[in-house]
């Protein structure tokens, strides 16, 4: 994008957080604030308004976001057209993945793919399932990988890998962990993922089949990443959490955490590749998807 300030604005608007925008763009929070203020002075309009501890787009901010998205899409089309003049293999592939996939699945695929396609530039965006869907629809990424049960009718989904959520707590015993009845689980203090995450969506569906609501649970904390939940559990002996079996394997082996069986809950979920409905994948995106499937079968 020609104007970096518009990219900063888009990032803040996507996260509705100056802090998260700074983390994604690898610049300081004061720099984020400076860019936004410059845009507001230039347009003589407030782009964000504060609502307690949160921010929201103003009407002017919503109008600018639509413009910034259009500019980004045109910029990408120009970049793709110019890259195609060099045979297409040197093109850019923008991937996006929900948190668990970003941390534990997709990164291990990248080195091998880069070796095979050394002239290509790959980027990987992290977000929850809803954020990845929004990024696809705004044309900000080419191919996404998400978890959860919810589907957007404007997107196409294909199975990539099966996963299981397990109940986890701080290691308490060297003997086999006895099963925990669901009625007892409901009363235990729990640390959970945030709204919009695929983990919470799968859990909510499984609980509903047992006539239990999320509101019935004793949630003591909500965190935005699996790593944060694992660290929390290691320091909170009385608290339980729901984590991907793939994500907790190392901690279980190291004796830091243990899996607690809950027979009434089946927490299987699918990791899926996703892209815009009706739009064919680019050559490079299709190659990456084929490579990912091949490697994950191993």
The pLDDT-based confidence of 84 (bands split at 50, 70, 90) is low
Q: Which residue has the higher pLDDT, 21 or 90?
A: 21
pLDDT at 76 over 70: no
User: Shortest CA distance to 221 belongs to which of 188, 259, 186, 193?
Assistant: 193
Q: DSSP characters for 130-174? A: HHHHHHHHTTS-SEEEEESS---TTEEEEEEEEEEEEEEEE---S
What does the radius of gyration of the chain's CA atoms come to, in whole angstroms?
A: 21
Q: Which residues contact 283 (CB under 8 A, 6 or more apart)?
A: 88, 91
pLDDT at 1: 46
Residue 172: its pLDDT value, please? 87
Query: Which pLDDT score is estimated for 4?
Result: 81
Residue range 207-261, pLDDT digits in tens: 999 999 988 999 999 988 888 999 999 999 999 999 988 889 899 999 999 999 9
> What's the CA gap between 222 and 182, in Å, rounded?
20
With a pLDDT cut of 70, the percent of the chain lying above it is 94
| pTM of the model as a whole | 0.61
The helix or strand, by DSSP H or E, that contains position 284, with its residue range, turns out to be: helix 283-297
> Tens of pLDDT along 149-180?
678 888 999 999 888 999 999 998 777 889 99
Model confidence at 46: pLDDT above 60: yes
Q: Over the stretch 173-217, which tens digit does the pLDDT of each residue have?
A: 777 889 999 999 999 999 998 877 777 888 888 899 999 998 899
**CB burial of residue 69 (10 Å; 0-12, 13-18, 19+):** middle
Helix-helix angle 226-234:245-253, to 10 degrees: 30
pLDDT at 77 over 90: no
CA 24 to each of CA 11, 130, 254: distance values in angstroms, whole numbers, following the listed order = 8, 17, 31
- Determine the Cα–Cα distance for residues 96 and 122; give it in Å rounded to an integer: 11
Residues 6 or more apart whose Cβ sits within 8 Å of residue 167: 180, 185, 240, 241, 242, 259, 260, 261, 262, 265
Domains of the chain: 1-85 (1.10.10.10), 162-269 (3.40.190.290)
């Amino acid at each position: 994008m020609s104007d970096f300030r518009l990219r900063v604005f888009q990032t803040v608007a996507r996260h509705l957080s100056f802090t998260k925008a700074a983390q994604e763009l690898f610049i300081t929070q004061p720099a984020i604030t400076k860019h936004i203020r410059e845009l507001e002075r230039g347009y003589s309009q407030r782009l964000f308004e504060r609502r307690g501890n949160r921010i929201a787009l103003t009407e002017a901010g919503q109008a600018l976001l639509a413009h910034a998205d259009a500019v980004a899409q045109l910029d990408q089309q120009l970049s793709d057209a110019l890259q195609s003049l060099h045979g297409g293999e040197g093109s850019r592939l923008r991937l996006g993945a929900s948190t668990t996939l970003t941390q534990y699945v997709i990164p291990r695929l990248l080195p091998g793919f880069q070796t095979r396609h050394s002239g290509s530039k790959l980027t990987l965006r992290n977000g929850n399932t809803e954020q990845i869907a929004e990024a696809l629809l705004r044309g900000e990424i080419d191919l996404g990988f998400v978890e959860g049960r919810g589907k957007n009718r404007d997107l196409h989904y294909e199975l990539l890998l099966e996963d299981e959520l397990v109940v986890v707590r701080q290691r308490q015993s060297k003997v086999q962990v006895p099963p925990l009845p669901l009625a007892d689980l409901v009363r235990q203090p729990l640390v959970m993922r945030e709204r919009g995450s695929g983990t919470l969506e799968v859990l909510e569906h499984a609980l509903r089949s047992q006539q239990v609501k999320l509101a019935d649970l004793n949630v003591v904390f909500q965190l935005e990443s699996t790593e944060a939940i694992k660290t929390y559990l290691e320091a909170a002996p009385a608290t339980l959490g729901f984590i991907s079996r793939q994500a907790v394997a190392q901690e279980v082996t190291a004796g830091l955490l243990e899996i607690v069986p809950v027979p009434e809950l089946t927490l299987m979920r699918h990791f899926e590749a996703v892209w815009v409905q009706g739009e064919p994948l680019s050559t490079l995106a299709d190659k990456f998807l084929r490579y990912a499937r091949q490697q994950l079968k191993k």
